[in-house]
């Protein structure tokens, strides 16, 4: 029982020390709160921009592949042709 309590105290002390070390590192690199907010804002903007750009590229590649495959797949070529016509009509 005593050994279990001692292990728990040791574990809690190690966890507390790790948290304290991480906080000290954070405050050493980011002393200004405005700097932290600005860094997180710019990270969010670039993350959102990258997500939209990547999604656009993936959808464009999928559409390009579908246009190349239309003639090869006889069972789905009519459906794919209608889909392509609908997309071009929407322009």
pLDDT of residue 30: 66
pLDDT of residue 61: 94
pLDDT, mean over the chain: 81
| Pair of tokens at residue 66 | 């579908």
Q: Which of 44, 47, 45 is nearest to 55 (CA)?
A: 47
Which of 31-35, 64-68, 69-73 is predicted least confidently? 69-73
Cβ atoms 62, 83 nearer than 8 A: no
């Amino acid at each position: 029982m005593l050994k279990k309590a001692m292990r728990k105290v040791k574990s809690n002390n190690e966890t507390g020390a790790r948290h304290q070390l991480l906080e000290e590192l954070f405050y050493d690199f980011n002393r200004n709160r405005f700097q932290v907010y600005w860094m997180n804002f710019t990270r969010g903007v670039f993350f959102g921009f990258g997500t939209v750009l990547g999604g656009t590229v993936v959808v464009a590649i999928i559409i390009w592949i579908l246009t190349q495959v239309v003639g090869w797949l006889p069972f789905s070529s009519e459906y794919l042709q209608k889909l392509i016509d609908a997309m071009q009509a929407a322009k």
